[in-house]
Amino acid sequence: MQKGIVALIAVIGLFLSFSCPNVEASQGHASASSLSGFVNLLDLKEGKGVHSVAWSPDGSKIAVGDDSGIMSIYDSSSGVLLKQFTPHKNAVSAISWSKQGRVATGSYDNTVKIWDSSDWKQVGDTIQNHTNQVWDVAWSADGNELTSSGKDGKIFTYSPDAKYLSEMETTVTGLARAVSWEPAGDFLVGFIQDDFTNKPIIYKWSASSGKIKKQLAINVTAYDISWDSKGSLVGVTLENGSVMLIEPDLFVPQRFIPVSASALYTIAWGTGDSKNEMVLAGNDKTIYTATSIGNKTGNITNAHSDIIMAIALSPNGTMYASGSRDAHAKVWGDPHPQIVWHVPVSDAKNVSVMSNITIKFDRKMDEPSLRAAMTLQTALFNILVRNNNTYAVIEPQGKLAYEARFTVSIKSSAKGMVGGNMSADFSFMFTTENSPASPALDIPWLWVGVAVLVILIIIIIAVLASRRRAGKRILPQRERRHGADR
């Protein structure tokens, strides 16, 4: 009987635990609301024309490949040169940085190489599958596969340790200019410039099998291809200065967006709030921004003094880098530092009283101005500046008060290492969890009813059991009396 009561009480506790609110604060994230209106934040000078640019996964570094075969690694906030070496004998035509920190380089010397960005030592053997210039390399979203395309019309995939995996099948021979991975999945898109018709065939492949899933022939020379960050559109830049958007499942053109009067050579899609925007550039030395519904939102005229060969968006979506034959790589962004996300989110409730407050900026911040600009209302705190001065952590001195509302404020006097101050004061509020001694006031009545019902069942069972035991005691007493009467 006691075991049964204990089990029922445990069930009640389980029911009530489901009714209690979650005390963990969720993360907040917000990237740039628009990619237009940006200004030049950094100018990185190379020895020869820049063919490729890529950001590190944490956004703290930029890799730049030039026509002499040199790759330079820069601090993305200060422009300081961190590393420079010569991975190839000819132009570094493509760079891709995986989420695990491996960097793939493709070159006009017909090779692909993989580097460990922690020490810049080569991983595995040099990949020599291509018989002509390598024009593009790209890591899958999970970093577990690498693909390359080249002037020989071949598209290959490899493992992160440079082992050959497969070749994509094609229906024509020609030039394979560019490839792009589905944001989350097994599919690749790319195109071959048909030698016979001189027109591109755009393909969608299963990367694991190499089989063609869809293909589309168009009548205009294509230069770059990119899957958007949502996986809902594929953008292709064209010689006539427009971008073609393809619906990836049916694999048919959704629309053509006129952007420039001359060829577009490169495309990058936005993320977060700017997920429907594209950054485009090419022959006329201008950087354009446009939306997926066809609106041109801005342009930077004479961004470079020669053809722009590469555009790469920062991982947090608030800046982009460009590379040009004028031997410059440039970083563009809002002149004012941006807050990318913060934890707790605005108006978060039931935040643990043991929580730290973390704020992520889109660039390296000036530490003295940042410390002076930050406050946590009604609490004593320490400020920790981490990750290349891009994170600020407010660490309360002891536990925060229960059931209290706190305000975090960052004054506009906080300034970045590139650009200027923040454009305006920024603040957000959150509320801490209830005191353990205080009953939660928002317990759902359904669970209260269930708990009461279970308690009543326990009481009834206990009463019935008690009566049954009393009945058993009365029966032997009567039997003894009957025996005495005999």
pLDDT of 21 higher than 50: no
CB 238 within 8 A of CB 246: no
Name 2's Cβ contacts closer than 8 Å, sequence gap at least 6: none
Domain ranges of the chain: 2-16+443-485, 21-28+338-432, 39-333
Backbone angles phi, psi at 5, to 5 degrees: -65, -40
pLDDT of 217 higher than 90: yes
* Token representation of residue 51: 């063919």
Three-class SS state of 13 = helix
Percent of the chain residues past pLDDT 70, beyond the cut: 88
pLDDT of 380 higher than 70: yes
Interstrand relation of 348-351 and 328-333 (parallel, antiparallel or unpaired): unpaired
pLDDT tens for each residue of 397-411:
999 999 999 999 999
What is the assigned CATH class of domain 39-333?
mainly beta
pLDDT tens for each residue of 109-160:
999 999 999 999 999 999 999 999 999 999 999 999 999 999 999 999 999 9
Please give the pLDDT value at position 28.
38
pLDDT tens for each residue of 416-425:
988 899 999 9
Please give the pLDDT value at position 268.
97
Residue that the structure tokens 């020895």 belong to: 47
Please give the pLDDT value at position 479.
52
DSSP state, 14?
A: H
Please give the pLDDT value at position 463.
80
- Tell me how crowded residue 66 is: count the other CB atoms within 10 A of its CB: 22
CB 69 within 8 A of CB 89: yes
**Where residue 324 falls among pLDDT bands split at 50, 70, 90?**
very high
Identify the weakest region by mean pLDDT among 3-7, 123-127, 250-254, 378-382: 3-7
Please give the pLDDT value at position 137.
98
Please give the pLDDT value at position 207.
96
Q: What is the mean pLDDT of residues 41-49?
A: 96
SS3 per-residue string spanning 387-422: CCCCEEEEEECCCCCCCCEEEEEECCCCEECCCCEC
| pTM, 2 dp | 0.79
Residue predicted with more confidence, 153 or 29: 153
CB 88 within 8 A of CB 103: no
The pLDDT mean for the chain works out to 89
Percent of the chain residues past pLDDT 90, beyond the cut: 75
* Token representation of residue 317: 């979506």
What is the assigned CATH class of domain 21-28+338-432?
mainly beta
pLDDT tens for each residue of 454-483:
888 888 888 887 777 766 655 555 555 555
Name 385's Cβ contacts closer than 8 Å, sequence gap at least 6: 365, 367, 370, 371, 391, 392, 393
Three-class SS state of 276 = coil
